[in-house]
Structure 1
Amino acid sequence: MTTLDSTVIDTPVGPLSVLTGPDGAVRAAGFTAEPAGLVPLMHPSLRGELRDRTELGLVTTAVRAYLDGDLTSIDPVPVAQHTDGIFLAHAWQVLRDVKPGEPVTYTGFAELAGRPAAVRAAAAACARNAAALFVPCHRVLRTDGTLGGYRWGLDVKKWLLGHEGRVTAS
């Protein structure tokens, strides 16, 4: 069985748990103190036994730099997500190209992903994203500019957007 390294990083909005595979790629991340709670969010082919680490090298360094204001430091961190659908994988990659401080609407995200009529599929890509922060689904808003949903809570989403220079209506 695969071993996944896990760590919990303190942030201003609470703990951020991160799981990485043997290659160092982020397989899951979320604003929780319980790394094991992230495992069910991952595709079964990416799951494994957790091994606690105090830090995860490049990943921990990138998160700390992001929290210190280098908002693009998380961009080069490799992410490994898997899905049985082609659109989701593409949509997750498109999300990684949404710049900090420049959130898009679900409609805009669907357009960026090449399927302007697939607004619900774009929303599903956000909902099924297991690598929060690194695949920045927090940068997707409702058409009216309000926050919409976020697995880790609207207070976290609002903080992330504010940290990135964009405060929105709740």
Structure 2
Amino acid sequence: MSIASSSTIDTPIGPFTAVVAGDGTVLAAGWTASLDLLLPVVAPGLRPAEVRARPDLGPVTDAVRRYHDGELSAIDDIPVRQASGEFIQRAWEVLRTVPPGKPTSYTDFAALAGRPDAIRAAAAACARNAAALFVPCHRILRSDGSLGGFRWGLETKRWLLDHEAPSGGQLQY
């Protein structure tokens, strides 16, 4: 029986909850206070049997606070565990290399993940990402520069992209 911990903290764009395995690895994260919205996107083989609320998740909570305070690289070294097929796994790894302030298109993201023609599969990797923020799918835009979708809402995606824009400016969507 696997036991995980969760914590919800306030951020400038609402509550943020992370679910962390016993070894400190993020299993799920997003801008919600509801575990019912987070746990279903965790791969069944990784889904914890029990989740215990804690006020603080140590390095994970610290990284979330530091990121929202403007230290954009604070999330980079937090370990994440997700499970899927080979391409989706590769796509999630690639998402972690997209730098803040330099969003890319779904088309370019598919190419970076090694399958330039797999644009829909690249979009599916974003949609199935359980570890938002730590696997920054918000940095992927439509080819025309528009926002596309985001599980946590387009206002949240816009805030994140503006937060990451060079010199605190706003990106054009």
Common fold by TM > 0.5: yes
Q: How many angstroms does 1:35 deviate by? A: 2.3
In the other structure, the counterpart of 1:40 is: 40
Is 1:101–2:101 an aligned residue pair? yes
1:167 paired residue among 149, 167, 170: 170
Matching of residues 57-72 of structure 1 within 5 Å = 57-72=58-73
Stretches of structure 1 that go unaligned for 5 or more consecutive residues are none
Q: How many angstroms does 1:159 deviate by? A: 0.3
In the other structure, the counterpart of 1:153 is: 153
Aligned partner of 2:170: which letter? V
In the other structure, the counterpart of 1:30 is: 30
Identical counterparts, % of pairs: 58
Is 1:73–2:74 an aligned residue pair? yes
CA deviations 1:76-120 (Å, max 9, x no partner) are 00000011x100001000000000000000001001111111100
Stretches of structure 2 that go unaligned for 5 or more consecutive residues are none
In the other structure, the counterpart of 2:18 is: 18
> Aligned to 1:10, what secondary structure does the other structure show?
strand
> Aligned to 2:29, what secondary structure does the other structure show?
strand
Q: How many angstroms does 1:167 deviate by? A: 3.0
Whole-Å separation in 2 of the counterparts to 1:20 and 1:139 = 23
CA contact (8 A) 1:26 1:79 kept: yes
In the other structure, the counterpart of 1:125 is: 125
Q: How many angstroms does 1:168 deviate by? A: 3.7
| RMSD of aligned residue pairs (Cα, Å) | 1.0
Aligned partner of 1:163: which letter? H
TM-score (norm 2): 0.95
CA deviations 1:19-44 (Å, max 9, x no partner) are 00011000000111112421111001
In the other structure, the counterpart of 1:143 is: 143
Whole-Å separation in 1 of the counterparts to 2:170 and 2:34 = 28
TM-score (norm 1): 0.96
Whole-Å separation in 2 of the counterparts to 1:15 and 1:25 = 20
Aligned partner of 1:102: which letter? K
Q: Which runs of 4+ in 1 moved over 4 A?
A: none
CA contact (8 A) 1:4 1:22 kept: yes
Aligned residue-pair number: 169
Aligned partner of 1:142: which letter? R
> Aligned to 1:133, what secondary structure does the other structure show?
coil
Whole-Å separation in 1 of the counterparts to 2:8 and 2:35 = 7
CA deviations 1:130-159 (Å, max 9, x no partner) are 000000000000000010100100000000
